Amino acid sequence: MSRSARLLAGALLAVAASVASPLTATAFPSQASARASIAGGSAGFTESTARLGQLAVRTDYPSWDDVNAAKQNEAAKQAEVTNITSLLGQLEDEAARLGDEAVQKGNAYLKAAAELQAATQIAETADQRATDAQTRATAAQKQVGAIAASLYRSGGSSSATLLLDSSNAGSLLYRLGTMSKLTEQSAKLSDLATASQNLAITLKDQATIAENARIELAATAQKAADDAKAAQEAADAQVADQKAKSDVLYAQLAVLQDSTAQIVESYRLGQIEAANILAQQQAAAAAAAASSGSGSSSGSGSSEGLPPGSVVVDPAAAKAYAADRVASMGWGSDQFSCLVLLWNRESGWRVNAYNEDGGAYGIPQSLPGNKMATAGADWRTNAQTQINWGLSYISRAYGTPCGAWAHSQNTNPHWY
């Protein structure tokens, strides 16, 4: 679609307002739908179609000349506002998609690594058991050989002499008894040696199978590691690109709306965050219900979304920061105690806590994790960004941490 055609379509959503319209009480399943609500509905704007139909065709990011020119005409200005808002949404959506993908790929790598570790342990144990069985078989075979040699030394002409000499009858009986016992012991040891050898062969076969499985899992883990690394790099690159482009777009939007870039950005992100509250609650409730139905735990981030080496996981530091933020928001120690209980249950205060069942991520278990982008582009790895988002969500949705904790306690499976 040409840029002007896109502007025309977008203007139908926002020609009557230079900023976002109030939120409605509908559900918001995604940030994209939240932005649609912020932009306002298209009803009532169809009469603007004719005068907007003459706008020039453009598909690129607006230049400052475009912005300055659009400001001279109200319809063109509103169209450019809608276009810039749409471009910001596209950047955010792509960053969100890649961010969530990085979390999922990281989790896949961690699972593959855990499976490899378990397979390695099994292979090593199987190999050790095979080695021990072979050692026992070899020892039994040596004993059989030693007994055979002893029988040989005890037999022969010496035994024949005793048989011919009746005066040595006692010695003969003793010698025969000893040989009988040695023969019996030799038979038992021979059976043990055979059984041990057969066991060693079986265990060796099992060890070979285990080692082949370990080799296969090692390749899988390496691929998962490569995929996770590539996903994180792609997400980081998109965040940098989003930041550079968004800075310009917000500055242009501020000129069109006679405001400042900081105010425009704060207002827009605040509206998106507010719109996402219902979506977060609905998603959490649905994930908890699905988890309960599948028989899995209703606890949230039991897994990890990013390898520990790529993110600093420090629950104690996270709690310390949260305590300061709680106090700065005017809440007392009782509220912090509720927050500790809540996020102990949700994530253990781990910045990379990941719920494989529903996809919730981070210390506050945002569902999906990319909702936290309204608090910062580093939501995947920064505990402070996650805590800021989580406290804002709690404040908007439940009033206080104790309100959120009470809700979590009163739902089964627990969610907030």
CA distance 3 to 1: 7
pLDDT over 70 at 154, yes or no: no
In DSSP terms, which residues pair with 366 in a beta bridge?
Answer: 361
Which pLDDT score is estimated for 151?
62
Tell me the DSSP string of 11-66.
HHHHTT-SSPPPP-SS---SHHHHHHHHH--STT-GGGHHHHTTPPP--SPPPHHH
pTM: 0.60
Q: For 357-368, what is each residue's pLDDT tens digit?
A: 778 999 999 988
Q: Which residue, chain included where needed, has tokens 């059989």?
A: 144
Q: What letter represents residue 32's amino acid?
A: A
In DSSP terms, which residues pair with 303 in a beta bridge?
Answer: 354
Report CA-CA distances (Å) from 385 to 70, 216, 234, 325.
36, 39, 20, 11
Which pLDDT score is estimated for 401?
97
Which pLDDT score is estimated for 272?
85
Per-residue pLDDT band for 217 (boundaries 50, 70, 90) equals: confident
Smallest Cα–Cα separation from 103: which of 372, 375, 331?
372
Q: Which structure tokens are listed for 55?
A: 């706008």
Instruction: Sketch the domain layout of the chain as residue ranges.
Output: 113-229, 260-416
Smallest Cα–Cα separation from 389: which of 375, 399, 378?
375
Per-residue pLDDT band for 174 (boundaries 50, 70, 90) equals: low
Which pLDDT score is estimated for 33?
45
pLDDT over 60 at 220, yes or no: yes
Q: Which structure tokens are listed for 236?
A: 């980081």
Q: For 42-71, what is each residue's pLDDT tens digit?
A: 333 333 333 333 333 335 788 888 888 888
Is the four-CA dihedral 71, 74, 78, 83 of positive or negative sign?
Answer: negative
